[in-house]
Structure 1
Amino acid sequence: MTASRPAFMHLSPADTVGVALRALKSGEAALGVTLLADIPQGHKFAITAMAKGTAVVKYGQVMAVATEDIAPGAHVHSHNAAMSDSHSDQASAPGVLHAAPARTTFQGFARPDGRVGTRNYIGILASVNCSSTVCNSIAETANRLLLQHFPNIDGFAPIVHDQGCGMANQGEGFDALVRVLKGYRDHPNFGGVLIVGLGCEVNQLTLYQRSDWTEERIGIFNIQDVGGSASAVRRAMELLEPICAAANADSRSAQPVSKLVLGMQCGGSDGFSGITANPALGVASDMLVAAGGTSILSETPEIYGAEHLLIARGDAATGAKIRAMIDWWRDYTAKNGASLDNNPSPGNKKGGLTTILEKSLGAVAKGGLSPLAGAFAYAEQIRIPGFVYMDSPGYDPVAATGQVAAGANLIAFTTGRGSCFGAKPAPSIKLASNSALFRQMPEDMDIDCGVVVEEGVSLEEMGQRIYDLLLDTASGRKTKSEEFGYGDNEFVPWKIGAVL
């Protein structure tokens, strides 16, 4: 960073802290105070005295409480600031509709049920962990022997997992697994699917018979019924031939942006995430919503402390659903001897995040400013346009799996520390919150949002760049995670309940 670029930032007039945009040295002057300690990049320093027990304010919101007296210029972090319970009654603003962007179409695969795919994979779905190895073998064999004959197919994606048996056949955990698998079975990014079970499992194939697919788009069988593992692979090759022929006949055509469903994720966040990548993605989300599309925010443990900002943007029924989700998570973590403030992770803290409140205030920025149109259970089908919320853990693969199952045909993933992720069948765009990360991991990062700080690019311009990249990706441009081959191991349905 050159001397002409800002060294620090004051995000809101109400804030009691500033943020170091580069590493600052003790004795430097910043925002009217003399620093009393070295301040790492992305970390906070006090710009006013804070007595023990008083609020630490960032983004104009309470992000922590001082655990000791804090002098102006002091480094503010986990050594002198901790979780606050005084966040939930703060004033917040209603949602704001934005003008539609100029670009309102992309090139996608129209499906018979009216939805549109951004990719044209064939899904090889395991109903149970016992068929996962066979499904991996089917996908590997099909990619080696069949794919070359069907140029309009993007590949054969194994959707495998470690559930489906050793669990109750009813209740939250079982219902979540069934919703996820049905969501993938019917996903618009699949031109066809093959579902393989073992035969004796709790999660029986009878739950996954044909829905909107035509006869030639789906195949279903149990390994026990065809002679064993090797025979199952041979049987799969027979069933896949007509499925591939049907999918290969599909081609891209101009489609409205209203057919896009964007899942928004953040992982490996840092002190810049809530300043650059997340609010810039929020601008792109607002543009997508204004064009008639859908964007999904999730990760309930990572909106804790900022849920009031979302509730203010929806109607009473939606607000009640989000409050109920927060209450469920408080109870769930307590029963398991955990706390919602166990998050941020060590990497988050090294990057400058002190409490879950601070992390959440930055995380909700991904949702922009649009009104909140609805709140949904994990992996529940989302068929309404607008900005919506879906319950999920903060664990990235589980959250993204739920969003894809809910209908997301595109994923945008912000990171400040360098999280590596990609999903199938939904392409995943990686947004670096700082330019140092973008330069450090160019093989994994798709776009550099650090230029908001390093080059003074406005959030509006950065949001436009993200929006254009989303549409380009939806039209077939490969992401860095696709080029590497991510997606075969990132399908992780939420495991709730006892293993029996």
Structure 2
Amino acid sequence: MRLVLLTQAATVMRGRMELIAKTPAFDSSALFIRLNPLDNVLIARQALSEGTYLDEENVTVSQPVPSGHKVAAVRIEQGQPLRRYGQIIGFASQPIEAGQHVHVHNVEMGDFSRDYAFGVDAHETPKTEAFFQGIVRADGRVATRNYIGILTSVNCSATVARAIADRFRRDIFPEALADYPNIDGVVALTHGSGCAIDSKGEAIDLLRRTLAGYAVHPNFAAVLVVGLGCETNQIQDMLDSQGLKASDQLRAFTIQGTGGTSKTIASGIAQVQSLLPQANQVTRESVSARHLIVGLQCGGSDGYSGITANPELGNAVDRLVAAGGTAILSETPEIYGAEHLLTRRAASQAIGEKLVQRIHWWEDYCQRMNAELNNNPSAGNKAGGLTTILEKSLGAVAKAGSTNLMGVYEYAEAVRAQGLVFMDTPGYDPVSATGQVAGGANLIAFTTGRGSAYGCAPTPSIKLATNNRVFEFQQEDMDVNCGGIADGTTTIEERGAYVFQMMLDIASGARSKSEQHGYGQNEFVPWHIGAVT
């Protein structure tokens, strides 16, 4: 038995990437999934043993194929392309017989042309309304959380920053915030850079842009910036370069200027205590979903990511955009080979060309660093059934839904456009999400097929499991189970509505699993690029 399931990437043969609202239910005993009529590989819905007969394809499995992995539907000659979602995911490195396991041992990368066709599939999105309970700041920006943040200009002040924040940990000092129930916490976001880099180079520009994005993030009621004093990344230079000024809600000081470690910690604690009463004076009110900016992430992906969780999230993104909100697709190496599906719906040629420019930057960057873009997928991705970065990318773009691409941003750049946008980031989730939050994301939606554990203070993170096994086995970390799509017990449309409602609920103050576990402070990882001297 089989399921013909069209995901966003598969619809390119119809001229544009559209969301398929409903997927047909099918017998839960089905052995495989065919994603597109053009495909020459099938996806094993369960572990297939040698000799298993796939009747509707008239194929006998000739060797064991793990669940989520691929099996050849026909004979594929050496050098011929392999297709999943109707798109090229690699080339046969040797002849592959029908029924054989298709994976890293018989698949290789290769060059092939992509038709960018800038904007040919751009189309209007119907408008709807949705609301959540947000915190409206004095300048009109809307927060989903209410933290006080401690940032560091350099790694040398990390210990002090953490000591200040630790004094307000509810699990250690429950009395510290007992009188301030409207404050979500005090968090220290530290990093490993800030010195021994070019004072005018790209590396320090990226760091300063990231720190500035967090310093003014609406989810922070106030921020302290702590430095050592002699570092390359001088706090005043950082503020000046980003057009920021110190204020009562943005305070800065150094260890050297304060007189040492203990004095600086004491000063920081006193300053936080002075900020608590005002920070606590917030109330949530009904606001439009146009104030939601959702960063899209996938980590620990598997063979089901592009079938279940990513299309489910993509449906929720379409609903978000229709309601006026914004979604940030990122992880440039993980759209490589699928970027043409985005350029086709770019709102302008300039937007599409900027995306292609970022792809070319990564090709050049990897060449300079003697690296390959196909080093991604990770070992866990491959164990889950993903073979090449092309295959991973085609599944990854599904979480972007089907609306127009409205902008392309550099890492940690403030996102101003509404709708679906792209931010250039590495594929490493903590680095990528850090850039998204610096750009203004006040919610993160994170799909995983292997069971990623991740959080992102001050922005809450929702975790979507691609399959039943991961959700059931790691339920303490997973917020959403997307496995029912592959089972045929639910549809992308139904699950997309569920995820969008969860976005609204989490934005309104409901705590995600990662928040309950206290994730978020250690996952602040600004992108470091360039030489350390």
| Shorter-chain TM-score tier | over 0.9
Q: Identify the residue that residue 99 of structure 1 maps to in structure 2.
A: 126
User: Out of 220, 241, 256, which is 2:252 matched to?
Assistant: 220
Q: Is the 8 A contact 2:299 2:447 kept in 1?
A: yes
- Against the structure 1 CA distance between its residues 4 and 406, is the aligned structure 2 distance closer, same or farther, given a 3 Å change threshold? closer
User: 1:22 and 2:46 equivalent?
Assistant: yes
Q: Identify the residue that residue 208 of structure 1 maps to in structure 2.
A: 239
Shift of 1:411: 0.3
The one-letter amino acid of 1:55's match is: P
User: Out of 433, 442, 447, which is 2:466 matched to?
Assistant: 433
Counterparts of 2:357 and 2:418 in 1: how far apart (Å)? 23
Q: Identify the residue that residue 108 of structure 2 maps to in structure 1.
A: 82
Shift of 1:330: 0.9
Shift of 1:5: 3.7
SS of 1:326's partner is helix
The one-letter amino acid of 1:356's match is: I
What are the equivalent positions in structure 2 for 1:130-149 lying under 5 Å apart?
130-143=156-169, 144=173, 146-149=176-179
Counterparts of 1:243 and 1:6 in 2: how far apart (Å)? 59
**Which consecutive residues of structure 1, in runs of 5 or more, have no partner in the other structure?**
none
Counterparts of 1:7 and 1:294 in 2: how far apart (Å)? 38
Counterparts of 1:10 and 1:188 in 2: how far apart (Å)? 45
Shift of 1:101: 4.8
User: Out of 208, 215, 238, which is 2:270 matched to?
Assistant: 238
Q: Identify the residue that residue 442 of structure 1 maps to in structure 2.
A: 475
The one-letter amino acid of 2:106's match is: N
The one-letter amino acid of 1:276's match is: T
The one-letter amino acid of 1:25's match is: S
Counterparts of 1:100 and 1:125 in 2: how far apart (Å)? 39
Counterparts of 2:325 and 2:71 in 1: how far apart (Å)? 40
- Matched residues, number: 498
Q: Is the 8 A contact 1:304 1:360 kept in 2?
A: yes
Q: Is the 8 A contact 2:28 2:487 kept in 1?
A: no
Shift of 1:360: 0.4
Q: Is the 8 A contact 1:62 1:84 kept in 2?
A: no
Shift of 1:27: 1.6
The one-letter amino acid of 1:83's match is: M
User: 1:9 and 2:33 equivalent?
Assistant: yes
The one-letter amino acid of 2:438's match is: A
Counterparts of 2:63 and 2:419 in 1: how far apart (Å)? 45
The one-letter amino acid of 2:292's match is: L
Shift of 1:91: 7.5
Q: Is the 8 A contact 1:421 1:486 kept in 2?
A: yes
Q: Is the 8 A contact 2:180 2:280 kept in 1?
A: yes
User: Out of 125, 128, 133, which is 2:151 matched to?
Assistant: 125
SS of 1:149's partner is coil
What are the equivalent positions in structure 2 for 1:19-98 lying under 5 Å apart?
19-30=43-54, 31-89=57-115, 94-98=121-125
Counterparts of 1:38 and 1:467 in 2: how far apart (Å)? 38
Q: Is the 8 A contact 1:218 1:243 kept in 2?
A: no
Q: Which moved more, 1:267-276 or 1:107-116?
A: 107-116
Shift of 1:69: 1.2
What do the CA deviations read for 1:291-310 (whole angstroms, capped 9, x no partner)?
00000000011111011111
What are the equivalent positions in structure 2 for 1:260-409 lying under 5 Å apart?
260-314=292-346, 315-409=348-442
Counterparts of 1:341 and 1:181 in 2: how far apart (Å)? 31
- Against the structure 1 CA distance between its residues 95 and 352, is the aligned structure 2 distance closer, same or farther, given a 3 Å change threshold? farther
SS of 1:452's partner is helix
Counterparts of 1:9 and 1:397 in 2: how far apart (Å)? 32
Shift of 1:215: 4.1
Counterparts of 1:426 and 1:286 in 2: how far apart (Å)? 21
User: Out of 447, 453, 458, which is 1:420 matched to?
Assistant: 453
Counterparts of 2:303 and 2:147 in 1: how far apart (Å)? 37
Shift of 1:218: 2.4
Counterparts of 2:116 and 2:209 in 1: how far apart (Å)? 36
Counterparts of 2:244 and 2:144 in 1: how far apart (Å)? 18
What do the CA deviations read for 1:414-459 (whole angstroms, capped 9, x no partner)?
0001111001000011100011000110110110001111243111
Counterparts of 1:427 and 1:97 in 2: how far apart (Å)? 30
Give me the CA root mean square deviation.
1.8
Q: Is the 8 A contact 1:63 1:84 kept in 2?
A: no
- Against the structure 1 CA distance between its residues 456 and 99, is the aligned structure 2 distance closer, same or farther, given a 3 Å change threshold? farther
Shift of 1:63: 0.6
Percent of paired sites with the same residue: 50
SS of 1:325's partner is helix
Q: Identify the residue that residue 170 of structure 1 maps to in structure 2.
A: 200
Shift of 1:251: 1.4
The one-letter amino acid of 1:130's match is: C
What do the CA deviations read for 1:384-437 (whole angstroms, capped 9, x no partner)?
110000000001100000000000000001000111100100001110001100
Counterparts of 1:293 and 1:448 in 2: how far apart (Å)? 24
Counterparts of 1:376 and 1:459 in 2: how far apart (Å)? 29
SS of 2:167's partner is helix
Q: Is the 8 A contact 1:186 1:211 kept in 2?
A: no
User: 1:110 and 2:101 equivalent?
Assistant: no
What do the CA deviations read for 1:210-252 (whole angstroms, capped 9, x no partner)?
9788943222111111111111111112222332222111111
The one-letter amino acid of 1:107's match is: Q
SS of 1:131's partner is helix
Shift of 1:379: 0.3
The one-letter amino acid of 1:182's match is: A
Counterparts of 1:172 and 1:155 in 2: how far apart (Å)? 33
The one-letter amino acid of 2:97's match is: A
Counterparts of 2:91 and 2:143 in 1: how far apart (Å)? 47
The one-letter amino acid of 2:126's match is: A
How does the TM-score come out when normalised to structure 1? 0.96
Counterparts of 2:315 and 2:504 in 1: how far apart (Å)? 14
Q: Is the 8 A contact 1:137 1:233 kept in 2?
A: yes
Counterparts of 1:16 and 1:98 in 2: how far apart (Å)? 33
The one-letter amino acid of 1:138's match is: I
